[in-house]
Structures are given as C-alpha cells and as structure tokens.
Structure 1
Amino acid sequence: MTILAMHPTMTEQPVRGVVPSTYVRLLYEYLDMQGVAAAALLGVAAPEAADRGLLRYPVAAWRALLQRAAEHLHDPLLGLHLGQTITPAHFGVMGYVLLACPNLGAALARTLQYQRLLYDVNPMRTTMEGSDLLLEWGVDQGRPGPLVDECAISALMQLMHNATGRRIVATEICFVNPAPANLQPYRDWFACPVLFGQAVTSIRFPRALLALPLRQPDTVLLNVLEGQADALLAQLPPSDDFEQAVRRCIARLVREGQPELEMVANELHVSTRTLHRRLAASDINFRELRESIRQHLAEDYLADPRLQLTEIAQLLGYSEQSAFSRAFRRWSGQTPYDYRQRLLSSRKLECQ
C-alpha cells in the first residue's frame, strides 16, 4: 500500500523552501515511540538537539521522509498525529521566545517575525477581518502536500495550546489539499469546521484570543532571547520574501523615530522607487503598513503592565506620550490606558 492510496494528493509539482531540523528530530522521536528504528527507515542521521535549528532540510526531502514513515506505519494521518507531539522546547531559543511573550498576540507576532526559523516554506500572512484574525499560507512556493501541511498546522495549534495552558479552538481551518476519505479525525482534534480543496491554507479564530496571557511571560528574558533569535535569523541565507524584510526593518527602526520610506530603502539597499514599486505590486501602502506595525507593537507593549505608558511611547518612537495617545486612539478608538485596563480585566475574568 502506498501513501497515495491512503491519502489523495495534488499532482506532484516542484516545491521550494526548507524546514528546520526540529521537524526531523520530532519524526525520529515519534518513530522511536512507535518502536521503529528511525535511522534505518529514514536513511538519514538524527539531528542533534544542539544544532539550534540551523540545520535545515529542503521541504521536498521532508515530505519524502514523512511519506516513507506514513507508509511504514500505515498511517495516512501521520502529519496530524506528529504535529500534536511538538513542544516549545523542540525549537530551542525560538520556543523560549514564544513562551516569554506576555500574551498569545505577542507570540503570534514573533512567529511572524521569525517565521523563517520556524517554518521557511510558504510565508504566513495575517489579516484582521472584523472580530477575527486570519492566518494564511498561499502556494507561492508550491504545494508541500497533505502530510507536510497537516503537520505544520497541527504543530502551530499545539504550540498555542502549550503556551497558553488551555485548548485553543479555531473558528475554521482550511487546507489547499483534496479532502481525505474520512474527515472526522480532523474535526475531532481541531474541534472546528475543517475545509479542503481551498485556495489557501488558513486558520481563522476570534481576535479576542490574542489577549490570552501566556503561562511564563518575562519581558527581560524576552529581550535577551530575541537578540539570540535575531542572530540566528541573520545566519540564514537571503529570503525572497521582500514584504517580511520590510516589516522587520520598520519594526526595528520605529524605536528611533518615524521610519520614512527613504530610511527603509537605505536599510534594504534598494532605491525608494524600487521599494515603492515592490510594495505596490503586493497592494501595500507604506504609510498604512508602518501604522499597522506600530499598532501591533503598541498592543504587545500594553499587554505588559511593567511598562509605563511613557516608556511605550519611547519604544514606538514618539517624543511625547500625548502623541502616542492620539495615535492609539486613532487606531483603536480608545486611549492606551483604557485599552490596558480592559485587557487586564479580561485576564482577571479568565483566571476566575
């Protein structure tokens, strides 16, 4: 029996991107628990925990390992099962970065910022739609296939469960791959509608969940760990994801004041005309992008009660707290103080 017989896939096509050794090590551990000699089955050496995620595997090779293991175990749902065994500790520094964030929203923001360290295939995009947050992965770099996609999505959901200490239930989950013969295992574990054959892979969940506190928040530790994560990110080969490079650049420069188009272009070693053209090609307005990043950073900082409003204003590049307050009211319709009070009140309710 082949895996194609157990789980239908799209027509085979080239797929680009890489995954960290975390996933291969996870597969080794899973096979060991099943009493399978992983090295003999997979034909590759087990990654060392000390590699800190720098050892990376082409996603096509990762898909082949999953297919080999799934066929051996006669488990077409291996991706779904494997993702459920992941923990933040598997990601080393990046895992601890996520755990040290104040809330789920901050952890997802870091996931977006450092996604190349976590899963460097089709980039994740976030969109706010009314009261929902939508996480999307397109097919720009190809279709990795059901086993890869299902492992990645179940792993992300499991990491959110681990970080918050509670079951996170999405409103809807979509996959680009054809529907399997039996949908019930997906509905049982995700506990929400799961759709297949969609244009993009996505997770939709209530925006209010972003305020959920994490179990081990530590701002000082987070700053230290982010420095380490930035160093790891700098060691990776260049990425084609221009938009993410712009986002990271704005987030870094915003502490020094209001980053203008020329400043970001200089940092990225392109002309202002090229920067404007490439953003426009993705229907992105630079000023709106800058304001969106500032707003998300502000919400992250406000979730930490140890930061004073004056400090947050400085972190966001405002010379005066009043300027920050006006901007935040324009973004959210409320003052930074009111936003923080509502956030703290909701946390108290969650703990009761």
Structure 2
Amino acid sequence: MTPYNRIKIPAGFWTSLSQLGIAPHEVVRKARLPLTIVTEPVVTTAQYFSIWQAYSDLIDDTAKGIKLATGFETVHYPPTVLAAYHARDYRDALTRMARYKQMCPPENLRISEEDEHCTIDLEWSYTEQPGPLMLIGITLAFLLELGRRGTGQPLRARSVEFSHSMGDVQSLEAYFGCRVQIGGNCNKLALHRSDLNRPFISYNAELLEILAPVLDQSLSEQQRSKSITDMVKWIMKRSLTGGRPDIQTVAGELGMSHRTLQRRLTNEGTSFKDLLTQVRHEQAREYLADPSLDINEVAFLIGYEDQNSFYRAFRLWEDETPSKWRTEHLDANSIN
C-alpha cells in the first residue's frame, strides 16, 4: 500500500465496539474482510470505509452510533490524539488534530476562525469516494468530545451541518447542543470561538515534549515520501473556490516555508504557477462536463473573479470557448 492508502485502525476502536456490545469480529465479517484485521489493523481506504459501513449497518442509526465517540476511553487514544488531548487549550488541541490527521488519512480537517465562530470542515484526502455517514458523524462528534474532556466543561457547538441524512436529528441535537442542519453542501462543525481559549485541565507539557517531536518527524518523513506535486495539487483543488490559493498558504498547510516549497517543486520539474494552471484546467474540464453548472459557476469554482478572465484562459487551454467545448463533449457523450 502507498502512504496515501495505508490506514492504521487504533486498538481502542475495537475495545470501544466491544463496550457497546458489538463484537469486533462481527463487524469484520459484515465488512467481508479477513478476521486478522483486528490484530493487524493496517487497511486500505476502501477497507476502512467498509468497516465503518459495517458498524453503521449493525447499529442501524447513525445518530445512535456517535456513542462510539463518547465511549472511546482516553487510555486507548493513539499518539496523534494524545497529543491533542494533552494540549494547552482547545485551539491548540484542534490545531494538533488537524496537523497529525495528515498521517492517518482519509479524513482531513480544515479549520478557520472568523468573527465569533470557528468552523471545522471535514474533507477527504486522496480519495474521490465520500466517507460513510457514520464516520462523518463520529469524526465531528469526537472533535466536540475532545473539547469537553480537555476543558472539563459541557461545551455546546454553535451549529452542525451534514450533507446527508444522519438518522435521529433530535438525538444529534441533544449531543451537539445546537441545531443540526441536514442536506447542506458539506459536513462541518461550528464552535464558539471563545471556547477555543479555554485551557485544558489535561494539559501535560512534559508528555508533549516527548510526543510532539516524534510525531512531527514522522509527519515530515511521510510527506517527503510523497510527491510534493500531488500534494500541492490536492490542496489547490480544495482551495480554489472564489479565489486563488497563494504559495504561502499552501506551504503553511504543508508545514514548510514558501521557499522550501518552491525548491521542492523545482526539483520535481514544475512550479507553483504551472501547477495552479494545471489544476484550473483540469477542474474546468470536470465542472464543464456537469450540465447542471452554468459557466459563471464554473469560473467561480476554479478561482476566477469574472467570466471574461475564465474565457480568455480557457481559450488558451483548449483553443475554443467553454460553451463550445461543453456542447461538443456533451454531444459526444450522448452519442456514446
């Protein structure tokens, strides 16, 4: 398996299942996977999703399934989560969660702070396949659970949004302590920004001095083993909408300076500007193949502020207008 497709399931996952009255082997059988996965828990993304889907099928209600987030005992936290649990405050904990989550895809967390709220968007790394609803629900629930355990306070979310039905909405609202929106465009948790300053009673500076350097080194080694070009293009694709990602922002997400990023891209025979053009071109073709999107929307989705700029760029790429390209390709697909 490549680093993109190598996921280690923490032992605490199986322990928590048992505490809910669900035998780990029952989940594995339901997922139609080898029973050895329980003792040798390194799986592919597809297998990982199958395990979560099997758990969901056995629980039979996504809202009830979030009990797994509250039942996951601290002593079973993997090192990446321990580093967050023993952080200085809630903001530090969430930052560490997002950073170290890069070592165990496919979930990816994007955190942004604005005005009185902090928003955490759940996205997927290196896979076009959306994650199982149960995994989505538990991931967002655990982020709030982390804050509650760390601060020792019954924190409430500001709002929660799910793209698909998640079972009993009332149960979800009772857990998150806020309104839950179903059928949104994404999966995200909004917190009260003031809660991020709350100190963690579980703060352990000595343990962090041991954990953080080891985790940071592992993350750096993992990132070096991947193509920086692929990583930059992936970050660009999820950052294009309504604007153009700059090299400082992308370098920051990768945990390096913009000069280091420039040097590594040069070593791979490309540049930030060339990759941005490639990504816009690739995304333009993908969006234009969807007849439900009008040209203005496509321009916005790939980071152009106006349609005219998009038209000029597209003519350079394809030697024809976006409208003509769409008509030709839609006609060709209908014939096939």
The residue that corresponds to 1:264 in the other structure is 261
**Structure 1 residue identity aligned to 2:8:** P
Give the Å deviation of 1:234: 4.3
Q: In structure 2, how many angstroms separate the alpha carbons of the residues matched to 1:63 and 1:263?
A: 35
Change (3 A) 1:220 1:26: closer
Provide structure 1 residue ranges, at least 5 long, that are not aligned to the other structure: 1-15, 253-258, 284-352
The counterpart of 1:136, out of the listed 111, 115, 121, is: 121
Which position in structure 1 is the counterpart of 2:144?
A: 157
Q: Kindly state the Cα deviation for residue 184 of structure 1 after the two structures are TM-superposed.
A: 0.7
Return the match for 1:211 from 192, 197, 200.
197
Query: What are the ranges of 5 or more consecutive residues in structure 2 without an aligned counterpart?
Result: 30-34, 236-248, 281-336
Matches within 5 A, 1:1-352: 19-22=7-10, 25-43=11-29, 44-45=35-36, 47=38, 56-117=42-103, 119-138=104-123, 141-178=128-165, 180=167, 182-234=168-220, 236=222, 238=226, 240-242=230-232, 243=235, 246-247=251-252, 251=255, 259=257, 261-267=258-264, 270=267, 274-278=271-275
CA-to-partner distance for each residue in 1:291-348, whole Å, 9 max, x for gaps? xxxxxxxxxxxxxxxxxxxxxxxxxxxxxxxxxxxxxxxxxxxxxxxxxxxxxxxxxx
Larger mean CA deviation between 223-232 and 132-141 belongs to 132-141
Give CA deviations for 1:219-276 in whole Å, capped at 9, x if unaligned.
4532331111123324546374434972255x55xxxxxx5x4333225655797224
Amino acid at match of 1:123: N
Code of the aligned partner of 1:169: R
CA contact (8 A) 1:136 1:201 kept: yes
1: CA distance between counterparts of 2:90 and 2:138?
21
* Shift in Å, 1:146: 1.2
1:77/1:231 CA distance change after superposition, 3 Å:
same
Q: Is the 8 A contact 2:160 2:180 kept in 1?
A: yes
Say whether the 8 Å CA contact 2:85–2:146 is kept in structure 1: no
Secondary structure in 2 aligned to 1:114? helix
- Matched residue of 2:120: which SS? strand
CA distance in 1, matches of 2:135, 2:192: 25
> Could you give the per-residue CA deviations for residues 90-149 of structure 1, whole angstroms, max 9, x where no partner exists?
3332233213321111111111221123x5124221222212111112467331121111
Deviation at 1:196, TM superposition (A): 1.4
CA separation of 1:274/1:62 partners in 2, compared to 1, >3 Å: closer, same or farther? Answer: same
Q: Which amino acid aligns with 1:266?
A: R
Is the CA contact (8 Å cut-off) linking 1:103 and 1:210 kept in structure 2? yes
Specify the code of the residue in structure 2 equivalent to 1:262: R
1:32 Cα deviation (Å)? 2.1
**Aligned residues: CA RMSD:** 3.3
CA distance in 2, matches of 1:263, 1:271: 13
Q: What is the CA deviation profile of residues 156-199 of structure 1, one whole-angstrom value per residue up to 9, with x for unaligned ones?
A: 2212222222222110011112353x311111111111111111
Confirm or deny: 8 A CA contact 1:114 1:229 kept in the other structure. yes
Tell me the amino acid that sits aligned with residue 172 of structure 1: S
- Distance between the aligned counterparts of 2:266 and 2:73, measured in 1? 38
User: In structure 2, do the counterparts of structure 1 residues 188 and 216 end up closer, same or farther at CA, with 3 Å as the change threshold?
Assistant: closer
The CA deviation at 1:64 is 2.2
| Larger RCO (CA under 8 A, 6+ residues apart) | 1
- How many angstroms apart in 2 are the aligned matches of 1:73 and 1:99? 27
Assess if the C-alpha contact under 8 Å between 2:90 and 2:196 holds in 1. yes
Partners of 2:101 and 2:276 in 1: CA distance? 20
Provide closer, same or farther for how the CA distance between residues 89 and 276 of structure 1 changes in structure 2, counting only shifts above 3 A: farther
Q: TM-score when scaled to structure 1?
A: 0.60
Q: For residues 151 and 216 of structure 1, do their structure 2 counterparts lie closer, same or farther at Cα, with a shift above 3 Å needed?
A: closer
